[in-house]
Structure formats: C-alpha cells, structure tokens
A and B are shown apart, each in its own frame.
Chain A
C-alpha cells in the first residue's frame, strides 16, 4: 500500500494552505481531491477579498488561488486529482477511487479540509429546473462562463447572496430582486450597497411562497413576513423570473469526520454539526486535523489561516518544527485569525469557535 507522511483531503483554500505549510516545514504531503482541478471554490471568487495586507486583502480570490497552486507545485506537494475519498479506516488508511478503481493510501497524519455544501430551501416548486444554489450559479458564470438565466431572484442576503447577485450582474444577467426572511440584511452592507446602486431591489422580511413554471421556472411569488416570521396575507407579489438562486447558508461536509469517529458538537451559528477540535485544529482523534468550512462556515480568508494552523501543528507533531518555533508561527496565524473575527460580523463566529475549542478541555456542551 502507498504511504505518505501527511494526507490532506480537499484541495480548496484550507487544504492547499495546510499542504504548503507542511511542505515548507520539510514534510511529505499527499493532497487528495475529487475534482478535476485543485482550488475548491476559490476560483469562482472573482471579487477582491477583505482583511489586511497579510490576509492578501484587496486581491481577487482566483488570483490568491493561482498563488496557492504555484506554491504547492514549487514545494513538490503530491496532488491526486479525480480521487474522491470514500472512507478512513483503521491506522489512517484512506480509501479512495481513481479512474473507476479502488485505491488506498496510509498516512501518519490526516488533515480533513472537505469544505461545505449549499443548503436547500423547501417551497412549492423548489425542485423546478432553474431553482439552484447561488454558489452553483457562481460556478456557472465565473468558472464555466455560462449564464444560468437572464432574470434572476436571489433568496438570502448573507454575503454569498449579495456577492453572487453582484457577480450575476457583472456576467450580464438582471437580478430583479433579492429577498431576505430576516428583518435585516445579513451580509456586509458594502456588498448590499453595490447591488443597490445597480438597481437591485432588496426586500427584507420577505420569503418565497412558491415558484411557478411548467418545465422550468417562469416566475416566483414572494410574500412579506410579520414579526414572528409568518406570511402576511395580501402581501403576495408575483415576479417574473427565469431563475431562482438560493443562498440560505452552507453546511459542513463532515461525512469523513463522522466515518473516522470524531466527536461532534452541534453549533447552529457555525452551520451545524462540527467536529470538535482544539487550537491546533486537532480533533478528538489524535493525529487527525480539520480546517476550513468543515470546522464552521466562514470564508476563504479564515479557511486559509486555519489550514496554515493545522499544517503547522501537524508539522510540529511530526517533529518537523521545535515546540518554540511552532508556537511562534501559530501565534502569528492566530493574530491574523483573530483580526478576521473581530467586529459585529466576526464576533459571533469567534465566540462560537472559542466555545467549541473549550469543549476539548471538558467545557459544557453548546446549546
């Protein structure tokens, strides 16, 4: 059986950043990904990132992706593409398939960076062709350069809903409306301002009542919500659209962590069931690390920092870094992570993350 020092599953921002850290420390890394190309969802991020210079702020996501790929190549990271991992067995034997054949690789350490998938939303007509994830539309326009529709309604005002609305406009579509069930816009105001200037109407306290169409979307009925989130009769409004994009959050892709036997905590503010982990990103299974959206839904900048953290801690455990050197490196990453998790938007995530990490030291369960 093939062996590797560190196996990383998922070649998105977290996995790539982790691989780079380990290779930089002199470790031998195998990075597995089910996709045909590495980069995860980073290559569809065409906007300039927030943060500070050290987070590579002001640089567009796909350019950060290109840099990460260049680094992994330079450092000699072994990347196995088209290789979906289906399980982790005893003694860190990883089962995956490639070209229709079963394969296995055994690792001394494993880092899971499997990311997240988009949540669906149930309403009459939600399965009609033309109803799709906002991230799906983003993949189509920015990676494959195809418009999913011409007149679009966006459901959800988190950063994904706001950013993808903007990018749909940039790709040439019309976003007719953005609706949000909560009484306030969820994502950054700057993203909302951008699409407002472009003429997109934002309806807060509104939800989608139904989507109408024979074989695909022909229109949507939206409805106002009262203070207790109940539809208000008489406020229904028909909007003619050919596409409905759903941006109602993401859920961690945690299957492999479950299969490996990690202990979990349920943290709704981080997206659901999250594998418990400590400040080294190590789970309840010694030698098994996690990073990125799998450990709580955030954004690519923090995923990369978490990947670095997991990479450094992993390298330390393999003796590639002295304790002191590792501590110094980790402190720098933590300072950057904390900076990303400040302010009214970041604090909630920071507090949830802290509680989650406290759990590893025997803290009370999170409600």
Chain B
C-alpha cells in the first residue's frame, strides 16, 4: 500500500517526523503543546502570525514549513483555529495518569456537547476509541472554526485526530 500525503492524503510517520512542526518527546511530556502536521511547502503563514509567543516560525519564503519552538509554546491553541489547512492539533499527553487530551478543529454541524461520549477517529477517519468531550471552544475570534477537546486513553494521543460527524441529512 502506497504511503504518504501525495498518495493517500494522509501524512506518513516518516513525513511527520521529518517536519519541523512536531514537538520533541520531552516537550510532549511537559503539558499541552501544538502539534503541527504541515508537511507540504504551500504559501501560507497564519500560524506564525497568530501565535502571541513567537513559538511558530515560517519566515521567508512563506512556503517554508512551520517550525515549532516547543519551549515557547504555551498550548493556547490559537494556531489550531487559525490554520486554514486544519492540520494543527493540540496534544496534552499526561492529562491524567491514563488519559491524554487531543484538541482539533471541527467545522461541522452539529457540534458535540461537553461531557458527551463520542467516537474518535484517526487520520483515515477510522474509528479508534471512544472518548469524552471535555471542551468545545467556538469564540468569534476563531471565525467558525470550532475546537473540540476529547479525552482519550493515553496510548491513542498520537492517533486520534477527529471525531465522527453526526449525519443530519
């Protein structure tokens, strides 16, 4: 089976590891942090502009891949809502001893409610595990890109990247 973003639309682990937007293993242990899955050089830099802490650098040309400075990142999540490509996530590996938090953009109707159990999916849209919605953020500033935070068993924090859509149609 062919791998990689150009073949499948899903970045392979090799592509992700080679991108400068991922926090290192130490930083992942320390608390919530941005997880930038941007692996293609496209002309785009709102993530750099929106970060109040200078934790993301694109520089010039704007096709550079965004570089994450894990030490500066506070895990505020502003870049998650600002990324036009919807490929920035926020992960909090050690939320509890056994669970992690993953925050992701979710531009679908209806939004899940806090406290609800939802079906979490991976980058392929395949069901991984059930999780609990712990936060739904949708302030005006995010311009209709709501952010959902789910609590999932720790071993899935690198895998869970969204939830199943509810069909209203």
Contact = CB atoms under 8 A, between A and B. Distances in A.
Q: Are A and B co-members of a single complex?
A: yes
Interface of A: 47-53, 57-60, 147, 150, 169-170, 172-174, 183-185, 188-200, 202, 204, 339-346
B115 interface: no
B63 interface: yes
Contacts of A191: 85
Given A58-B84, A189-B6, A342 B49 contact: no
A47 B143 CA distance: 10
Q: Mostly helix, strand, loop or mixed at chain B's interface?
A: loop
Contacts of B10: 192-193, 196
A162 to B, nearest CB: 8
A340 B39 CA distance: 17
Interface string B133-169: 0000000000111000000000000000110110111
Contacts of A204: 2, 7
A57 B45 contact: yes
Interface stretch (B23-31, B93-101, B117-125): B117-125
A343 B45 CA distance: 13
B46 A202 contact: no
A172 B169 CA distance: 5
A147 to B, nearest CB: 7
Contacts of A60: 143-144
Nearest to B64: A343
Contact of B125 (A50, A147, A198): A198
Contact of A172 (B2, B40, B107, B167): B167
A19 to B, nearest CB: 25
Contacts of B6: 184-185, 189
B40 A194 contact: no
A189 B44 contact: no
A190 B85 contact: yes
Given A51-B43, A51-B44, A343 B61 contact: yes
Contacts of B86: 190, 193-194
Nearest to A189: B5
Given A50-B85, A196-B123, 18 more contacts: A48-B143, A50-B84, A51-B44, A150-B169, A172-B109, A188-B42, A190-B42, A192-B5, A192-B10, A193-B10, A193-B86, A196-B9, A197-B161, A199-B125, A339-B61, A341-B43, A344-B41, A345-B43
Interface string B97-118: 0000000000111000000000
A49 B62 CA distance: 14
Contacts of B42: 50, 188, 190, 343, 345
